[in-house]
Structure 1
Amino acid sequence: MKTFLVGGAVRDKLLGYPSSEKDWVIVGANPKTMEEQGFIPVGKDFPVFLHPQTREEYALARTERKTGHGYAGFTFYCAEDITLEEDLRRRDLTINAIAEDEQGNIIDPYNGRRDLEQKILRHVSPAFAEDPVRILRIARFAARYHHLGFRVAQETLALMHAMVVSGEANHLVAERVWKETQRALGERSPDIFIHVLRDCGALACVLPELDRLFSVPIHQDMNNASQKDNNAGSHALVSLQQASRLSPEAIARFATLLHPLNEHSGAADDSLHKSSAIHHLCERIAAPKDYRELALIVAEFHARSHNARELEPDVLLNLLVRTDAFRRPQRFDNFLLCCEAIARSDNTTLADYPQANYVREILRACQSIDLKAITAKGLTGKAFGDELDQQRLAKIHDMRSQIKD
């Protein structure tokens, strides 16, 4: 029985890149042996165990055989005679097929260290094509390591494209698509995730609403030197880049990325129909409710935020109410951050976004209203709401006057 550290922990250690998770592989053992030593079985599809003290995951060395489509279409074989090299061969990338033994020696049967040095994301074997989730994983790794100069090997990109053409990518399940997308949005360069999916043709399969944006021409701001293509898809990616500079939160980056779907979905003027593209995308990839809600309000109201200083009191109050700013201040802050990212994508030389502070001052003024005093007047129900609205409008009017003066 031998223990090896494998995968991301070894890869990032060799890169000098921060890593928090450790994965272990056991060679020469069986489930009974593991349990006798106190390991806790947790694997459903194949033997995975938690260490009795560290609670880190230890998996028995295994091989796999394709039996159907998609991520779940495999059978696994675990036995004491499975070698480390056999286990590593089933992994996606050469840089993830490196192991370290208990003495610190590196085992690298598929030249992963060479690809780390050359900054290449390359598949280990043709078996890569059997699991469509790997398309998303490679795009995510490209987003993580882009700033270090990593690129996807041409032969790997070609294999990913072949998986799309063969229809294997159509068997991606929503939960896996969302898991990889959410993780990619949290990476250093999330726009690269979209670029790689588009380069191999998978974007049209996974996020068709976004893919269609690249064929929608838009007017290009001549001051925006970073926007190379005059289409809505490129604009969305520049917005995503700006959001990534402003916030590490995947939810804000997601909402910013989707904002052009409102304007360029090809639907009617009615906001319910215009936002259907966002609804459909979120439902298909199982995006959580809070992600969907923020994306919808950013798509519908970002233009009002840009023009906040010119809005009349009733329109400003409507903005606060429709975005639920009074009850959900954290989401409203994310909304304003997304609006700033969009504004910066229209003009990458923008020094600041004063509209955000202006709207926050308006909100604070409205929040200063004494609700108990309204209740003391004996007002309830609609009468209470009408009185509150009138006082809010008065506060907004006073704030606008003060700021203009």
Structure 2
Amino acid sequence: MATTTEIETRKIECFTPTFTSIPVLDLSLAQSPVTKPKFLSKLRDALVMVGFFYLKNTSIPENVEETFVERSKAFLDLDVEKKLEIDMINSKHFLGYSRLGCEKTARETDNREMVDFLTPLPAPGPDEPVYLNVQGPNQWPDESAVPGFRCALETYLAAVGRLGDVMKTLVAEALDLESTALAKFFNDPPRNKVSLLKYPPPLSPLHSKDDNEGTTRGDSQGVGPHKDGGFLTYLLQATPHACLEAQNKSGMWIPVPPIPGTLVVNVGRSLESMTGGVCTAATHRAKLRWESFVDSKGNFLGPRFSFPVFQTLKLDLNHAELSSLRLPAHIANLVKDEKVKSDAEAFFAKYHLQSPGKGIFTARLTSHPDVGQRWYPEELKQALKGQEEFQSS
């Protein structure tokens, strides 16, 4: 039995006011009744105090992950004309390829290419809310472009989907709820989206030196500070570039470098909303610095490849349904007096409180204004106006 001193020490370790590193959780510990309590305790701390964690031993087959990475890189390395055959602007569901410079975060241009695919789900009917159009059929490239691409992607997405089913149960248990408490918030089958991301290297210091200040102009915004909109995100950092950073509750940027054999998991706005802010959706970004694109020996690493899967709730949950979860008092009180100094893109928070679908749809409009202009010009106009007013207030 733990002594009083040991218990107090654990409290200090677990409930520090902010974090300075990202915890590593071993999912295999959740498989044994002996070690599961330890895993759930670490998961609770990560959800509430950090909002980010590495997850190892995920049970995703190694060959499934390797084939997915190989085929995804091959597609992203195709000539842009080939990728534009599935241009996102042709999809009213924001699915397909978005070329470099077409995406924005907080009204600033992101320096990355993106291809989005969704688990097979039907498009909404004409009389259903417009925000449900963030769901619909994928655009697939011709099989001859990258043989085996679709099969590899669907196999990997299904594997992460199974992991997501396990995690929604473990999240409930970590919050001292019934294991099935969160099931009602998800579709069956659930809505999961994968993004294939390619980040170009910045200019080297030799080409970007500012003689007046002695600094470099090569650093750029891979993706700007933001919070994900879903329940949990499962990120595979497929190359060794150390570009990802998470912001702690004091506003400090903490590196989230790749760790082989892990996924990076982070809390989204939907989980934050449904727990009344107890679970933390941490702000994060990808900062492109030249030093992150060379190894310790100075060898060039090439582009950064990153593949997140976004696990989302039912899109049409309303505010009453989203706020119906009742956390035990001892869980709710963990962050009673905490104040987060920064909430990137806080403009979207009110939409996520209304429903997950509205939050995701509004974010997609502002992130991909070219797609919004083609399919939803009035909704885009309103969203951009609201975003501008919010940022200038």
- TM class by shorter chain equals under 0.3
| Structure with larger Rg | 1
Flag the structure with higher strand content: 2
TM-score, normalization: structure 1?
A: 0.27
